[in-house]
Amino acid sequence: MNRPLTRAVLALGSNLGERNDTLAAAVADLVDRPEVRLTDVSPVIQTKAVGGPAGQPNFLNMVMGIETSLDPYELLEHCQKVEAKHLRVREVHWGPRTLDVDIVVYGDVVSDDPVLTIPHPRASQRAFVLYPWALMDPGAELGGESVSELAIKASDFADIEMFDGYESQPAGAV
């Protein structure tokens, strides 16, 4: 059965290991199946960790736009498989991680299912998602509001830095 394509936005983050390489590989892995097509990729930004244990290494964050014939739960499963491929472990809530992939929006779907809440429940408050999304798609809206304006209002906006692509050492290295 051929399903119609749905546009989705995925947020990717990494604060352990070779963060930039992990993000690049994850983008390739996420679109390495016929049901997922890449439409856009944001620049990479660097941010402090938001929430979770203190003292975490900085994150690299980005978003990507896709078109997919996977349903939201199939897409979630695919994202989790890509996280696992990149050695994601879930030991500490909001703890350090090699890769985090979140579904931010999936078409016009609104769901409060505890397994998959769409739009992502905290996306509208997180500049580390909103800012790269606004760079990728300046006209984007979330919940009827401009993603660019939401980014500026987010409490973590001041901590955003553009990432120049160079890492002197892996995040978390001593």
Catalytic site residue from 19, 29, 88, 126: 88
Catalytic site residue from 100, 108, 112, 159: 100
Q: Give the pLDDT confidence of 99-123 residue by residue, as tens digits.
A: 999 999 999 999 999 999 999 989 9
Q: Which of 47, 61, 60, 51 is nearest to 161 (CA)?
A: 47
Q: Which of 95, 156, 148 is nearest to 128 (CA)?
A: 156
**Catalytic residue list contains 100:** yes
pTM of the full structure: 0.91
According to the model, what pLDDT value does residue 90 have? 60
Q: Give the pLDDT confidence of 83-102 residue by residue, as tens digits.
A: 999 986 666 555 688 899 99
What is the pLDDT confidence band of residue 165, given thresholds at 50, 70 and 90?
confident
What is the pLDDT confidence band of residue 173, given thresholds at 50, 70 and 90?
very low
Task: Report the C-alpha gap between 66 and 38 in whole angstroms.
Answer: 5
**Catalytic residue list contains 97:** yes
Task: Report the C-alpha gap between 152 and 167 in whole angstroms.
Answer: 27
**Catalytic residue list contains 102:** yes
Q: Look-up: residue for tokens 């994850």?
A: 26
**Catalytic residue list contains 137:** no
Q: What angle do CA 148, 38, 23 make, to 5 degrees?
A: 75
Please report the domains of the chain, with CATH numbers, ordered by start residue.
Answer: 6-162 (3.30.70.560)
